[in-house]
Chain A
Amino acid sequence: MTTLPLRVGGLSWQVRPRGIAVTLTGLVLLALLMALNMRIGDIDLTLPEVIGGTFDVNSPAHFVIMELRLPRALTGALVGAALALSGAIIQSIARNPLASPEILGVTTGASVTVVAGVVGSGSVYGGVSGLLAGVGIPALALLGGLIGAAVVYGLAWRRGLDGYRLVLVGIGVAAVFTNVKFWLLTVGDVTDTGRAMVWISGSLNGRGWEHVAPTALALAVLVPLTLLGTRSLDALRFGDDTVAALGVRMNPARALMILAAVLLAAVATASAGPIAFVALASPQIALRLARSGQPPLLCSAVVGGVLTTAADLIARTVFSPIELPVGIVTAVLGAPYLIHLIWRSRK
C-alpha cells in the first residue's frame, strides 16, 4: 500500500503509483479487447479495418463500425464500468466483499418489471417491437431497479443504516423478487418468456447508441461525484462510532453513495440486462491488482469494462456462429470465483 505525496502549492493528494499503473494498463487492454470485439459480425473484419473504420470517415467499414459495432462495444465497456463502480461503492459501505448491486434490489427489481412488461404485453410487444423493445424495456428496467432499491433501503433503514442489516435485507428481498420473476415466467406465454429470458440473462446483442448515451451520461455525472466521496467512503469502512468521531456526517454520506451506486447499477441494467458477477468480482480483482485496502473506484470501473468486454468476446466466439448472451459467460466465469470468495472467508 505504498503511496506518494503529491503537493502543488496549497493542494495535496496521495497517489498510488501501482493503482495508476493498473488503471492505465487496463485502459489499453480495454481498447484492444473492444477492437477485437468489433471485428466480429456478419462480415468479419481485420484489426486494421476496424481501426480504419473507427477513425477514417472514408473507410468502407466506417458505417458498420459507427452504426453497429462501436456502440455495441461501448455499451459493453460502459455497462461493465458502471456495474463495477456500483459494486466497489457497495462493498466499501457494507464492509463485505460479497456485497453487490444485486443485494440492493436493483437488478432483481429490474428483472421483475421487465419480465412483467414483456409477459404482460404479449403480442403488443411484437406489434410495436421497435418502440416497446427499444425504449419500453430500458424504462421498465430503470423503474424496477429504483423501486427494488427503495424497497431494500426502506426495510433496512432503522434510525440509520447498518452494513450487515443492508446485506441481509437485500438478500431476502432479492429472493422474493427472483421468485416473483420465476412465477411470471411460468404463467407467461412461451414466446414472451423466451424474449424475457434473453433479457434477464444480460445481453449486448443489438445495442446501439441509444444504449450508450444514458450509460455514458450516468458515468459522466456519477464518476466525479463518487470520486469526491472517496474520502467518506474510506472513513465509512471503520466502526460507526469511529466514523462519527472523525466528523463524517455518516447517514448523508452513506445515503448519497448508495444512491450513486443504485443509479449506476440501474442504468447499466436498463441498457444490457442484469449481467451477473461483474459488480461482485471487478472491485475485488482491482483491489488485489492495485494492492489497496479498499476497492479502488476508477480502477474497479476499468476492470469492469475489461471483464465485460472479454466476456462478450468469449460469448461471441466460443460457439460461433451462435452468440451467447454475455451474462451467461460472466455467470459461468463468476460462479467459481464466488465459491472461492466464500471459501476464503470461511477460513
Chain B
Amino acid sequence: MRLQAADVKLGYGDRLVVNGLDLGIEAGTVTTIIGPNGCGKSTLLRALGRLLKPQGGEVLLDGKRIDRIPTREVAKILGVLPQAPTAPEGLTVADLVARGRHPHQTWYRQWSSDDEGAVAAALDMTGLADLAERPLEELSGGQRQRAWISMALAQGTDLLLLDEPTTFLDLAHQVEVLELVRHLHREAGRTVVMVLHDLNLAARYADRLVAMRSGRVVASGTPHEVLTEELLREVFELDAKVIADPVAGTPLVVPIGTRSAHVSDSA
C-alpha cells in the first residue's frame, strides 16, 4: 500500500464531511474517485495529500503517518495538483514548472543542473517545451492544465494526486489530459489518484474506481466491478444502462433519467 486512509474523519470546522473512512491505494495503479457533488471526494483527496488534517484517524504514506513526516519530505514523494489552482499574474510556464523544484532546493542550492533537467523533462513530457516562455494566461485551458501537471511532474514524485484535472475543459482537452496521465502511469509506473466527474472517462482511464456517497466508500474495484446499473442508482440516483464502450471495452454509462424525474412521471 502506497497510501492509506485508516478510519479518517474529515471536515471543515464543526461540519464533518467524512466520518470514518478506510481506503488503500496500491502501488503502480491509477485510482479514480467518483461520486455525486458534495460526497467528500475532493475532501478525501486533500486529506490523502496532507492538505487537510484529519479530525480523527490517520493517513499513512508508505506505512508511516503522513503528518509525522516533514512536509518537505512528503513533497519529494507525493505531488498534489489542487482543484482550480491559482498562479500569480504574469507568470510564465517555465517559471510555474520551476516552482515544482521547491522541495529539492535550499537557500544555497536554488537552481542546480538537476532542477534545470527536471523542468526540461517535465515540459517535454507534457509537450509544452515550445510554450515555456509564454505567460500562463495566454494558454488555452488544456495547455494551462498541462502546465500545472508539469509542475507536479517537475517535483519528481512517483505518487500523484490530481483533483479534477479535467474541470472546465472541453472533451478533446479532457482526453488530452487523461492520455497524459495514462502515459505517466505506463511509462514511469507512477501511482495516480484522481477525482473525476465524467464516469465514462473515469472507467476508461482508471485501473480502479472508488465510488463515494455521503462521505462513505460505497464500492471499489475495477471499473467493471464498480460501474453497474445498481451502483449508479444507489450512488448517483441515476437510472442508466451500462453497455460496453465500443472503443475501449470499458463500461459506458448511458443515462435514462434521474430517480426523482421517474417518481414524478409515474405519479
A binds B: yes
- B100 adjacent to A246 (CB under 8 Å): yes
- B155 adjacent to A246 (CB under 8 Å): yes
Q: Let me know if A220 is at the binding interface, CB within 8 A.
A: no
Q: Which residue of A lies closest to B110 (CB)?
A: A13
What's the least CB distance linking B100 to chain A, in Å? 7
Mark out the residues of chain A between 231 and 264 whose CB falls within 8 Å of any chain B CB in the assembled complex.
Answer: 231, 234-235, 237-239, 241-242, 244-249
What's the least CB distance linking B44 to chain A, in Å? 14
- B95 adjacent to A293 (CB under 8 Å): yes
Tally of A interface residues using CB under 8 Å: 28
Q: Pick from A7, A13, A293: contact of B113, CB below 8 A.
A: A7
Q: Pick from B88, B90, B108: contact of A95, CB below 8 A.
A: B88
Q: Let me know if B112 is at the binding interface, CB within 8 A.
A: yes
Q: Which residue of B lies closest to A291 (CB)?
A: B90
What's the least CB distance linking B167 to chain A, in Å? 14
- B110 adjacent to A14 (CB under 8 Å): yes
Tally of B interface residues using CB under 8 Å: 40
Mark out the residues of chain A between 3 and 31 whose CB falls within 8 Å of any chain B CB in the assembled complex.
Answer: 3, 5-7, 10-14
Q: Pick from B74, B88, B152: contact of A294, CB below 8 A.
A: B88
Q: Let me know if A1 is at the binding interface, CB within 8 A.
A: yes
In the bound complex, CA of A235 to CA of B110 (Å): 13
- B88 adjacent to A249 (CB under 8 Å): no
Q: Let me know if A43 is at the binding interface, CB within 8 A.
A: no
Residues in A with CB closer than 8 Å to B85 are 238-239, 241-242
- A11 adjacent to B108 (CB under 8 Å): yes
- A239 adjacent to B82 (CB under 8 Å): yes
- B74 adjacent to A12 (CB under 8 Å): no
Q: Let me know if B79 is at the binding interface, CB within 8 A.
A: yes
In the bound complex, CA of A246 to CA of B70 (Å): 12
- A241 adjacent to B51 (CB under 8 Å): yes
In the bound complex, CA of A239 to CA of B82 (Å): 9
What's the least CB distance linking A77 to chain B, in Å? 27
Q: Which residue of A lies closest to B76 (CB)?
A: A247
Residues in B with CB closer than 8 Å to A239 are 82, 85-86
Q: Let me know if B65 is at the binding interface, CB within 8 A.
A: no
Residues in B with CB closer than 8 Å to A247 are 70-76, 102-103
Q: Let me know if A322 is at the binding interface, CB within 8 A.
A: no
Q: Which residue of B lies closest to A230 (CB)?
A: B107
Q: Pick from A95, A231, A244: contact of B105, CB below 8 A.
A: A231
Residues in A with CB closer than 8 Å to B99 are 234-235, 238, 246
Q: Let me know if B165 is at the binding interface, CB within 8 A.
A: no
- A245 adjacent to B73 (CB under 8 Å): no
- Chain A, 32-68, contact with B by CB distance < 8 Å: what is the 0/1 string? 0000000000000000000000000000000000000
Residues in A with CB closer than 8 Å to B105 are 231
CB-CB nearest 3 A-B residue pairs: A247-B75, A241-B82, A245-B80
**B interface, CB within 8 angstroms of A:** 46, 49-51, 70-76, 79-83, 85-88, 90-92, 95, 99-100, 102-103, 105, 107-113, 115-116, 152, 155
**A interface, CB within 8 angstroms of B:** 1, 3, 5-7, 10-14, 95, 228, 231, 234-235, 237-239, 241-242, 244-249, 293-294
Contacts A235-B102, A239-B86 known; 19 new A-B pairs at CB < 8 A: A7-B113, A11-B109, A12-B108, A12-B112, A12-B113, A13-B110, A14-B110, A228-B107, A238-B85, A238-B87, A239-B82, A244-B80, A246-B99, A247-B73, A247-B75, A248-B71, A248-B72, A248-B102, A293-B91
